[in-house]
Amino acid sequence: MKQVQGIQASEGIAIGKVKIYQGAQPVVEPQRVQDVRKELALYEFACREATLELERVYRQAMGEVGKQAAEIFEAQLILLQDASFDRYIREKIIGEQVSASYAVYSAGEHFGAILGAMPDETARARRMDMKDVAGRVVRMLEQRSQEETEQECYVIVSREMTPGAVMTLGKDKVLAYITQNGSYQSHAAILARSMEIPAVTGVDVSTLEDGMEVAVDGEQGVVYLQPDEATCKELLDRVEEQKRLEKARKALIGAQTVTLSGHKVGLYANIGSREEVQAVIDNGGEGIGLLRTEFLFLGRSQMPEEEEQYRTYRYIAEQMQGKKVVLRTLDIGGDKPASYLPMEQEENPALGYRGIRICLQHRELFLTQLRAVLRAAAYGQVAVMFPMITSVDEVRKAKECLKEAREQLQAAGVSYGQVQMGIMIETPAAVMLAEELAKEVDFFSIGTNDLTQYTLAADRQNPAVRQVYDTRHPAIMKMIEHVVAAAHKAGITVSICGELGGDVTVTEQFVHMGMDIFSVSPVKLLEIRERIRSIS
């Protein structure tokens, strides 16, 4: 057995046979043609067919995996209808007298390479969309059916997966994905997570062959080649145990989050899309402690307008039926760049232009989001929270913007609701200033993911410093204790919304520190409730 450490792309465990996936990118060899007009007509026909198919996949994605995933195909439709893509193909057919298939294939490679060379991660991710679009048109030309894919269930292995291929292969026939190229932010990974298909990327796939037995551990980002019986058993036991615990915990859905001695603790959820609200409700969440609004802003070519944001926030507030929803304002930049906000390439993006720093400079963008939040607040219990705070001055400026947004709505006669206002404590500076900051806001929420990276000087994304990035490091625990005490001294509430809040090994410590609210991923809610109910 060989064990390969890759990068986690989608949680879950699967064991099965490898299927090397080649369907996504047919390679087309140059072919000279006599009848250029016929090739042009064929190209036009294939384009229309591809458009119809993409529209169908878009609707299917909307129904099965939600709006965010479906937008990928909306973006692909735009690429397909792009004038330079069309011009390139026509010029190639006419100028070089080549087949329509080859011209389309070349266009995919050409524009894919341009996108792939961009410094912006989101634009680079578009490269696969471009190739996906070209591949779809080529398949139409060559009448390759997308349904020709396997009937059996396999672990799909490919150098890279396009979102279209993930969507086309669907949920039923795929046990897991292993890819060489990709990232947690790639559209294919987003889709795999929405479809609950385990995936590991960053694996050298050259050693994998059709039919080879593998085990994929999406939680650890590990792939086992020809796993031995003991490993399979261990993994399957984990799956079984997981299922058994999940089932048993369902009994806690309506239960209180209270310790044995009667101390009540709030149990909220972190979400990053409107589709996840259902999971919060299904798992008995008492509110949403962190809505990462940037998911509305990423993977698209234009910023969402106020109306779209308002509708999304309102929908979430209404779904939660009066339970609290904390909307974190845009935290893009760093590892989450947005293509419509051009940024200089940075040496240290995590220490760079991100979060509140961008919002305070792009005032219109910030005010638009704040107006949408305030309007949605008329339909539920909405709070607003600012990320990446390092000074009292930043908080005051953000508050001024909130006031201005309110005044704008008032002047326009648009109705809005009251919002509580809080900040994330995720920089060491915010920890050190906790007492001063507490006087400015209604609540704190501790973001341990970033707090750990900034305190221990270890990039949260860099596997090479994974050992240093110790989420339970004594320095972090001390900081949390200090923040809780400072919040309570000022009479405000404090929650923990970093991943550490979902770590049951430290739940008791946090409860004893006086943590008011735990905000964790929806799948962790019942596990944490169970743990809190066992604490004396």
Q: Binding residue for Mg ion (CB under 5 A) from 447, 501, 502, 522?
A: 447
Interface stretch with ligand PEP, choices 173-181, 187-195, 338-346, 447-455 (CB under 6 A) = 447-455
Work out whether 426 is an interface residue with Mg ion (CB under 5 A): yes
What is the spatial distance between Cα 136 and Cα 18, in angstroms, rounded to a whole number?
A: 24
* Residues 496, 510 contacting (CB under 8 angstroms): yes
Site map 259..298 versus ligand PEP, x via CB under 6 A: -------------------------------x-x------
Work out whether 483 is an interface residue with ligand PEP (CB under 6 A): no
Q: Which of 321, 248, 243 is nearest to 285 (CA)?
A: 321
Q: Binding residue for Mg ion (CB under 5 A) from 71, 160, 394, 450?
A: 450
Work out whether 459 is an interface residue with Mg ion (CB under 5 A): no
Work out whether 502 is an interface residue with ligand PEP (CB under 6 A): no
The CA–CA distances, whole Å, from 420 to 81, 113, 414, 431 equal 45, 47, 19, 21
Give the total of residues touching ligand PEP (CB under 6 A): 10
Q: Tell me how crowded residue 86 is: count the other CB atoms within 10 A of its CB.
A: 15
Contacts 24+ apart (CB under 8 A), 144-148: 144/26, 146/23, 146/53, 148/23
Work out whether 160 is an interface residue with Mg ion (CB under 5 A): no
Work out whether 426 is an interface residue with ligand PEP (CB under 6 A): yes
| Closer of 156 and 271 to Mg ion (Cβ) | 271
Work out whether 380 is an interface residue with ligand PEP (CB under 6 A): no
- CB of 366: closest distance to ligand PEP in angstroms? 18
| Closer of 12 and 447 to Mg ion (Cβ) | 447
Maximum Cα interatomic distance, the chain, rounded to a whole number of Å = 85
Site map 462..481 versus Mg ion, x via CB under 5 A: --------------------
| Closer of 373 and 497 to ligand PEP (Cβ) | 497
* Residues 388, 426 contacting (CB under 8 angstroms): yes
Sheet-wide strand order for 2-5: 2-5, 222-225, 213-217, 13-20, 154-158, 174-179, 199-201, 7-10
What is the spatial distance between Cα 38 and Cα 40, in angstroms, rounded to a whole number?
A: 5
- Strand partners of residue 158: 179
- Strand partners of residue 268: 519
Give the catalytic positions in this structure: 187, 497
- CB of 261: closest distance to ligand PEP in angstroms? 29
Binding site for Mg ion (CB under 5 A): 426, 447, 450
Binding site for ligand PEP (CB under 6 A): 290, 292, 331, 426, 447-450, 497-498
